[in-house]
Amino acid sequence: AQKITQTQPGMFVQEKEAVTLDCTYDTSDQSYGLFWYKQPSSGEMIFLIYQGSYDEQNATEGRYSLNFQKARKSANLVISASQLGDSAMYFCAMREGTTSGTYKYIFGTGTRLKVLA
């Protein structure tokens, strides 16, 4: 079973509009972290936003906000006022503990966002 599910392979949004990228996750851990990364065509993964499982408020970082619904196990990324430079691949990731007491990241399959002028 997929631990991180991103159901939107591709999305279009008009410049200056807001867009929501979906992410659902599956874990039995009580302590975990959720991340969103942006990957432009250059290939580098750029950290956008983090949400801890115990954080009571939704995370925000500039134009990025995370709509965290713990009971539904969803962590959707909201980008407000889209810009042409936001066109990229977006990955949702979860960091959870392992049976050996360490941690690992699990990534979703990504959503390719295209911002239209």
Partner 1 sequence: KAGVTQTPRYLIKTRGQQVTLSCSPISGHRSVSWYQQTPGQGLQFLFEYFSETQRNKGNFPGRFSGRQFSNSRSEMNVSTLELGDSALYLCASSLRGGTGRLNEQFFGPGTRLTVL
Q: Which residues form the interface with partner 1 (CB under 8 A)?
A: 31-33, 35, 37, 42-47, 50, 52-53, 91, 95-98, 100, 102-110
**Paired sense of beta strands 74-79 and 19-21, if any:** antiparallel
Q: Considering beta carbons, is residue 3 or 63 the nearer one to partner 1?
A: 3
Least distance to partner 1, CB of residue 43, Å: 5
Give ∠ CA 103-50-92 in degrees, rounded to 5.
75
Kindly state the DSSP code that residue 42 receives in the 8-state scheme: T
Q: Considering beta carbons, is residue 30 or 117 the nearer one to partner 1?
A: 30
Least distance to partner 1, CB of residue 59, Å: 9
Q: Is the dihedral of CA 53, 58, 64, 67 positive or negative?
A: positive
